[in-house]
DNA sequence: ATACAATGTGGGATCGATTCCACAAATAAA
DNA sequence: TTTATTTGTGGAATCGATCCCACATTGTAT
């Protein structure tokens, strides 16, 4: 490994001068600069990141904590993050919790030890101890997908999106509308989307039967099961079902098709997420696009500006887009 | 930031002793150890990674280069990598090339600068300059998904898998079998799978018409287009189509359904990859499972053993599993 | 002419750990 | 009792950069 000292000797200047050339700082004569650059070129020298970090306290690494990398939302976010960070010479250090909430906390500590310059948390919950920990951290943290007080975040307009979708059903003449949601520990998906649904129903004076509303977890099978529960329950059957994610919607459709029910004639279905397959399944799924990549980019921007200029905490709520297709 | 020096002062010992406690090395009296541990506990001290790395030349970070994070194969591999690496205290530094082959080379250099302890390359090609660069690197590199001489790798049995799938079509009575492949710069997917198909056809004395074989790129629409080309071409139409990935198969099915053709009665379809939706589309797709997560785990194991004990270069070819469903 | 700023360079301290080595004390072997 | 050996500790060098500061040289204003 060639070091700055060797470069200095070869170029017959001091380490300081080499450092100045490297960092474009202070005064350096044209002559010295050329000499140093030539030697660097010849040797293929690259400065040691850790020596640099040790002095400067900067690693140019951003930690990203996510619940899984196997679904589209986080993947897209990470892609967006990567794009923006790469342009500024930052790298991503990945921390996959596999949906383990304990690990979210652990990784927050671990990334601190790893001395990342900032952290992006693709959040699944806003538990008080999590929020506390974030506030205690000496480095900036941006949450994506959830909102919380006194924390930087980029989130989606879950409430309005849910109202929009519910409203679409109603426009199409549906009055009995079911809902497949998730646990309320996930505020964005579990509470806001459900609230949007309830409020829109109420705004139109439509009743919500208890058996129309089911709770699922984040996977396709769970959507299937929830639809089954709705279908096999006692009361009246809904003519439409709003699932809070595309995957749940796909599971629900899978059940309906299996039962010989037509979509959307017998039961209309819609989801949220604009997953890639949503347009290749039959019928094409009506859904909402959340611009996840943009969320990643924006989070990166927020983080970088916070790292560089200590700007005030910012929050950002992204817009959404309704994609009307054939399932409604 | 509390440092080892402060800990030493507080515990009234030398920095050396603190270091010994930290690393469980050398002799430390029970008394001193307890004192130090207590102070560490109280202060919440964690040693600086970069200072450590500067001396030890170890970062406990593995670089992962991948073409995209938005498809299932790389996501699963990364999950597998993460699991195995985490157990040994390693972290993943992500480098997303977005399918840019230039960046593959760039990142190889960048990760060297970042001084990762090893690199996992989820490979899309085996271009000579890439292989050269890998061999030149002073740190161990494991490729996943492609094979090459004198390089460590974990790959899949693409050739046999393709033969198995082709053979399945033949067993089911198909004689006219089409093929949707990809560019040959991707040796594993572009060449081996195609070769398996050709060889199996030939072994059964079945001819392959030129218009049955189409080249696509890695996305669903491209599968649609390829199927369209096959369908709208002059010659005889195949009664079955083997697509080299599930996504291509799904695109092909999408076209067939749109044209009112029944699957598998009119045209049978199969893919490779065991993507999650393959079992939720209609009809359920026959495919091959490649155990991507295991590939990630194995690659991590190889890398770690190489880092720790300088073992000889190893190669590993993983087994596959045929998943017979309704599309054939 | 002198004073003062701008330009250019190198030495040395520093960041926060590890690790070698010298040395002291306690214990075992001769 | 003397000599080895084990156990325990701290000082100092080191890793490879940055950066402050002192100092030299040149140019400009007074």
Residue B325 lies in a domain: no
Alpha-carbon separation of residue B91 from A40, A73, B119, B219, B312 (angstroms): 31, 22, 11, 30, 24
Q: Do A91 and B93 touch (CB under 8 A)?
A: yes
Asked if omega into A53 is within 30° of 0 (cis), the reply is no
Q: What percent of chain B is modeled with pLDDT above 90?
A: 92
> Residue A145 class from Cβ within 10 Å (0-12 exposed, 13-18 middle, 19+ buried)?
buried
Residue B328 lies in a domain: no
Same domain membership, residue B270 and residue B172: yes
CA of A49 to C1' of D23 (A): 31
CA of B20 to C1' of C23 (A): 18
Characterize B195-220 residue by residue with b for buried, 16 or more Cβ atoms within 10 angstroms of its Cβ, and e for exposed.
ebbbebbeeeeeebbebbbbbbebeb
Residue B207 lies in a domain: yes
Distance of CA A29 to the CA centre of its chain: 48
Same domain membership, residue B296 and residue B189: no
List protein-proximal bases of chain D (any atom < 7 A from a CB): 7-12, 14-21
Residue A89, number of CB atoms within 10 A of its CB: 8
- Give the model confidence (pLDDT) of A207-219 as tens digits: 999 999 999 999 9
Q: How many domains does chain A have?
A: 3
Same domain membership, residue A296 and residue A285: no
Helix and strand totals (H; E) in chain B? 12, 12
Instruction: Indicate whether B314 pLDDT > 90.
Output: no
- Give the model confidence (pLDDT) of B48-105 as tens digits: 999 999 999 999 999 999 999 999 999 999 999 999 999 999 999 999 999 999 999 9
Predicted pLDDT of residue A64: 98
CATH value at residue B40: 1.10.260.40
Predicted pLDDT of residue A133: 95
Predicted pLDDT of residue A99: 95
Same domain membership, residue A118 and residue A79: yes
Using CA atoms, how far apart are residues A77 and A121, in angstroms rounded to an integer?
A: 11
Distance from CA of B136 to the nearest CA of A (A): 13
Same domain membership, residue A303 and residue A228: no
Average pLDDT over residues A29-39: 95
Using CA atoms, how far apart are residues B207 and B213, in angstroms rounded to an integer?
A: 12
Q: Do B115 and A75 touch (CB under 8 A)?
A: no
A93 DSSP β-pair partners? A63, B93
Question: What average pLDDT is seen over chain B?
Answer: 95
Instruction: Indicate whether B234 pLDDT > 70.
Output: yes
CA atoms within 13 A on the CB side of B62: 33
Helices A72-87 and A292-309 sit at what angle, rounded to 10 degrees?
A: 40
Average pLDDT over residues B106-117: 89
Same domain membership, residue B162 and residue B211: yes
Residue A327 lies in a domain: no
CA of A15 to C1' of C11 (A): 10
Using CA atoms, how far apart are residues A141 and A122, in angstroms rounded to an integer?
A: 11
Same domain membership, residue A117 and residue A151: yes
Of A279, A230, A282, the C-alpha closest to A253 is A282
Instruction: Indicate whether B310 pLDDT > 70.
Output: no
Residue B224 lies in a domain: yes
* Interface contact B305, partner A, CB < 8 A: no
Instruction: Indicate whether B247 pLDDT > 70.
Output: yes
Question: What average pLDDT is seen over chain A?
Answer: 95
Same domain membership, residue B166 and residue B145: no
Q: What percent of chain A is modeled with pLDDT above 70?
A: 99
Predicted pLDDT of residue A310: 67
Residue B208 lies in a domain: yes
Using CA atoms, how far apart are residues B319 and B166, in angstroms rounded to an integer?
A: 17
DSSP letters, B106-139, are HHHHHHHHTT-SEEEEE-S---HHHHHHHHH-SS
Average pLDDT over residues A264-286: 95
Predicted pLDDT of residue B235: 84
Same domain membership, residue A175 and residue A269: yes
User: In which domain, by residue range, is B196 found?
Assistant: 158-289
Predicted pLDDT of residue A33: 95
Using CA atoms, how far apart are residues B124 and B100, in angstroms rounded to an integer?
A: 10
Residue B67 lies in a domain: yes
Specify whether the CB–CB gap between A140 and A118 falls below 8 A.
yes
Q: Do B50 and A59 touch (CB under 8 A)?
A: yes
List protein-proximal bases of chain C (any atom < 7 A from a CB): 7-12, 14-21
Predicted pLDDT of residue A112: 85
Same domain membership, residue A296 and residue A149: yes
Q: What percent of chain A is modeled with pLDDT above 90?
A: 91
- Give the model confidence (pLDDT) of B173-185 as tens digits: 999 999 999 999 9
Helices B30-43 and B4-11 sit at what angle, rounded to 10 degrees?
A: 120
Predicted pLDDT of residue B115: 86
Q: Which of residues 43-62 of B touch A (CB under 8 A)?
A: 46, 48-51, 53-54, 59, 61
* Interface contact A122, partner B, CB < 8 A: no
Same domain membership, residue A275 and residue A183: yes
* Interface contact B98, partner A, CB < 8 A: yes
Same domain membership, residue B124 and residue B74: yes
CATH value at residue A126: 3.40.50.2300
Residue A52 lies in a domain: yes
Instruction: Indicate whether A183 pLDDT > 70.
Output: yes
DSSP A210: G
Alpha-carbon separation of residue A121 from A141, A202, A282, B74, B267 (angstroms): 7, 34, 35, 21, 46
Average pLDDT over residues A90-111: 94
Specify whether the CB–CB gap between B133 and B295 falls below 8 A.
no
| A61 three-state secondary structure | strand
């Amino acid at each position: 490994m060639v070091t700055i000292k060797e470069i200095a000797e070869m170029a017959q200047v001091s380490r300081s001068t080499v450092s100045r050339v490297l960092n474009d700082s202070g005064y350096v004569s044209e002559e010295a600069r050329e000499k140093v650059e030539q030697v660097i070129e010849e040797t293929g020298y690259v400065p040691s990141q850790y020596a640099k970090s040790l002095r400067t306290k900067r690693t140019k690494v951003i930690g990203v904590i996510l619940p899984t990398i196997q679904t589209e939302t986080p993947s897209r976010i990470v892609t967006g993050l990567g794009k923006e960070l790469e342009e500024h010479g930052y790298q991503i250090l990945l921390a996959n919790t596999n949906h383990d909430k304990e690990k979210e906390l652990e990784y927050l500590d671990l990334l601190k030890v790893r001395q990342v310059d900032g952290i992006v948390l693709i959040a699944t919950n806003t538990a008080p101890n999590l929020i506390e920990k974030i506030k205690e951290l000496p480095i900036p943290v941006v949450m994506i997908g959830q909102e919380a007080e006194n924390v930087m975040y980029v989130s989606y307009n879950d409430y309005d999106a849910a109202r929009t979708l519910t409203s679409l059903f109603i426009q199409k003449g549906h009055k009995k509308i079911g809902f497949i949601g998730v646990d309320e520990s996930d505020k964005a998906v579990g509470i806001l989307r459900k609230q949007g649904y309830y409020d829109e129903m109420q705004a139109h004076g439509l009743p919500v039967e208890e058996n129309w509303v089911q709770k699922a977890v984040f996977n396709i099978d769970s959507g299937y099961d929830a639809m089954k529960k709705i279908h096999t329950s006692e009361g009246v059957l809904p003519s439409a079902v709003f699932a809070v994610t595309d995957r749940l919607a796909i599971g629900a459709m899978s059940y309906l098709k299996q039962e010989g029910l037509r979509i959307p004639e017998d039961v209309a279905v819609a989801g949220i997420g604009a997953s890639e397959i949503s347009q290749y399944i039959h019928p094409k799924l009506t859904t909402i696009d959340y611009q996840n990549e943009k969320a990643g980019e924006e989070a990166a921007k927020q983080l970088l500006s916070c790292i560089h200029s200590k700007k005030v905490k910012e929050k950002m709520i992204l817009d959404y887009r309704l994609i009307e297709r054939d399932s409604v």
